Amino acid sequence: MNTPNIRMRWIAALAATAALSIAQTAAAAEPLKVCADPDYMPYSNQAGQGFENKVAEVVAKALDRPLQYVWSSYRQQGGFDNFLALNLDKGKCDMVMDIPYGDPEEMYTKPYYGSSYVFVWKKDKRYNFTDGLSSPILHSVKIGFENGTPPEMGLKMRNLLLKARPFDTAEKKSASPKSTLQAVEDGKVDVLITWEPAIGYYMKDFPNLTMARVPDTNELGSPERYLFFMSMAVKPGDKTLKHQLDAAIDGNKAAIGEIMKTYNVRILH
C-alpha cells in the first residue's frame, strides 16, 4: 500500500471539500437589500455617490453580505412616508438608510449620526443668530425654508412665515438642494433655514456662504426641535437584522464618521 499517495489524495479531497463549502457559503449569502432614491444627491444615486450609498457599503461589508438596491424615489406622491409604506413596509427591501431615531412607525437601529437644521447666509452680511429663530435680524431679512420641516412651524409661531419663501426640493424629483444655496448666492433670499445634510456637500461650491446651527429651544412654550439623530430603518419584525446593524454601527464608527465628514455633515453626539 502506498500510504503517502493515499494521504495526499485524502488531503486533496479535504481541500476540495473545504473550497466547495466556502463557495457554497458565499453563494448562499443573502443580498442586503436597501431601498434608496436613484437620483437624490447628496443622499443617494444609482452611481453610488451619496453618503447613504457609502454607509450602506460599510454595513454590507460588516455583515458579509452583497449589497443590492431597490430603487424608488423618496420624492413621490405622499412623500417619504409613502416611500416607506410602498417599499420597506411591504418587504421589498431589508432596510432604509436614513430615518429619525425614535420614529414611531418603523423599527430602527441605534443612531449612526446626528445633525441639525442650519441658517445659511452670505459671510459679508455678518448676521447674528445667537437667539436662534427668535433672533431680531430675521424680522428684517428675506427668509427661505424647506416646506414641511420643523423650521416652518418655528417661523409660523413667530409670525415670520407669511413673508418667508418656501422651497420644495424634498418634493420635486428634478430639484436639487443645491438650488436653495444658489437662491442665497443670487440674493433671492438673505437667510436659508434648511437641513444640514442636504446642503453641506454643496457648500464647497459657494465659498461666499456660511452656516450655523439652529439651536433647539422651547422658549415659546411649545416643543421645537431642530437637532435630530438619524438611524437605519429595518423591515417590520426583523429584529435579527436590527441587532446586526447595531453591531455594525458600533464596529464602524470611525469609517462612518469619515464618510459624513467627506459630505460636510458634522456628526453630533
pLDDT tens-place values along the chain, 269 residues long: 455 555 555 555 445 454 444 444 444 589 999 999 999 999 999 999 999 999 999 999 999 999 999 999 999 888 899 999 999 999 999 999 999 999 988 999 999 999 999 999 999 998 999 999 999 999 999 999 999 999 999 999 999 999 999 999 988 888 999 999 999 999 999 999 999 999 999 999 999 999 999 988 766 666 788 999 999 999 999 999 999 999 999 999 999 999 999 999 877 75
Distance (Å, rounded) from C-alpha 106 to C-alpha 102? 9
CB atoms within 10 A of CB 77: 8
76 CB-near residues (< 8 Å, 6+ apart): 82, 83, 86
Query: Which structural domains are found in the chain, ordered by start?
Result: 29-113+230-262 (3.40.190.10), 115-227 (3.40.190.10)
